[in-house]
């Protein structure tokens, strides 16, 4: 079963001095993607729990938290406790991913596992039943505005096949370099949730761009399903 196409704009490329105002510019988004970086797992440093707790009070959109931090086992549950609907941890920074996924579920959040471009999906195939979503990075994590890595497309397709064989409804999210020029390739490969930062917040009308991205992805996903 395929989940519907969803667009989750990343605020990494928004005006962080007016985060609530920027989120208000994307009312039709399916969720707000928030990148949390600790300058250890990745070289950049961004937002943390206090800012996200504040943002939670200023938007009714679901918050899709992407933790690019060390020791995710320790810190991830706090984001679920803060009311974030989805929490993504990197498998490369997690000691006990199954336990963490179950803890997030117990706290009422969706559990998502992220993989760097070079991390293969196959060793983690048996874990997917514990997850609601798999995030496949299509750039190296840590900075916005990078160019899309086409080399990840075969991994998206392999992940889609693993999910299909499992018979479970698990979303496949892609993050990095997603734009009108690349989203169709991602959807054709099997992705159904798309993180777009520069493409959305760099547009004159961010919400119109959300709609345009959704339409383009949905068209490609439909063609793939027919094929």
Q: Using an 8 Å Cβ cutoff, are 111 and 131 in contact?
A: yes
Predicted confidence (pLDDT) at residue 31 exceeds the cutoff of 50:
yes
Residue 1 maps to a domain: no
Chain mean pLDDT for the chain: 94
> From the candidates 35, 38, 132, 192, which is the catalytic residue?
35
Tokens linked to 181: 């020029």
Give 75's pLDDT tier (boundaries 50, 70, 90). very high
- Is the four-CA dihedral 152, 13, 134, 164 of positive or negative sign? negative
Q: Using an 8 Å Cβ cutoff, are 87 and 57 in contact?
A: no
Our count of domains for the chain comes to: 1
> What is the structure's pLDDT at 1?
34
Give 227's pLDDT tier (boundaries 50, 70, 90). low
Q: Would you list which residues are annotated within the binding site for substrate?
A: 10, 66, 142-145, 175-177, 197-198
Residue 99 maps to a domain: yes
Residue 132 maps to a domain: yes
> What is the structure's pLDDT at 68?
96
Q: In what order do the strands lie in the sheet with 193-195?
A: 6-7, 193-195, 171-175, 133-137, 110-115, 86-90, 63-68, 32-37
Residue 169 maps to a domain: yes
Residue 120 maps to a domain: yes
Give 225's pLDDT tier (boundaries 50, 70, 90). confident
205 noted as active-site residue:
no
Nearest to 121 by CA among 132, 99, 136: 136
Mean pLDDT of 109-129: 97
> Range of 196's domain?
6-226
**CATH number, domain at 121?**
3.20.20.70
């Amino acid at each position: 079963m395929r989940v519907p196409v969803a667009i989750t704009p990343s605020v990494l490329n928004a005006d962080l001095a007016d985060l609530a105002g920027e989120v208000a510019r994307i009312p039709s988004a399916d969720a707000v993607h928030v990148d949390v970086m600790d300058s250890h797992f990745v070289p950049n440093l961004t937002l943390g729990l206090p800012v996200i707790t504040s943002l939670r009070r200023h938007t009714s959109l679901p918050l899709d938290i992407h933790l690019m931090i060390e020791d995710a086992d320790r810190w991830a549950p706090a984001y679920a406790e803060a009311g974030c609907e989805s929490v993504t941890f990197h498998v490369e920074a997690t000691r006990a991913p199954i336990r963490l996924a179950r803890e997030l579920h117990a706290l009422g959040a969706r559990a998502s596992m992220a993989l760097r471009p070079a991390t293969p999906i196959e060793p983690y195939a048996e874990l997917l039943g514990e997850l609601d979503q798999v995030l496949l990075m299509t750039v190296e994590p840590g900075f916005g505005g990078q160019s899309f890595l086409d080399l990840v497309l075969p991994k998206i397709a392999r992940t889609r096949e693993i999910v299909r064989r499992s018979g479970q409804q698990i979303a496949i999210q892609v993050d990095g370099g997603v734009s009108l020029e690349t989203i169709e390739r991602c959807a054709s490969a099997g992705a159904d949730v798309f993180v777009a930062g520069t493409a959305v917040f760099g547009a004159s009308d961010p919400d119109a761009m959300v709609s345009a991205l959704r339409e383009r992805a949905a068209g490609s996903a439909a063609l793939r399903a027919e094929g």
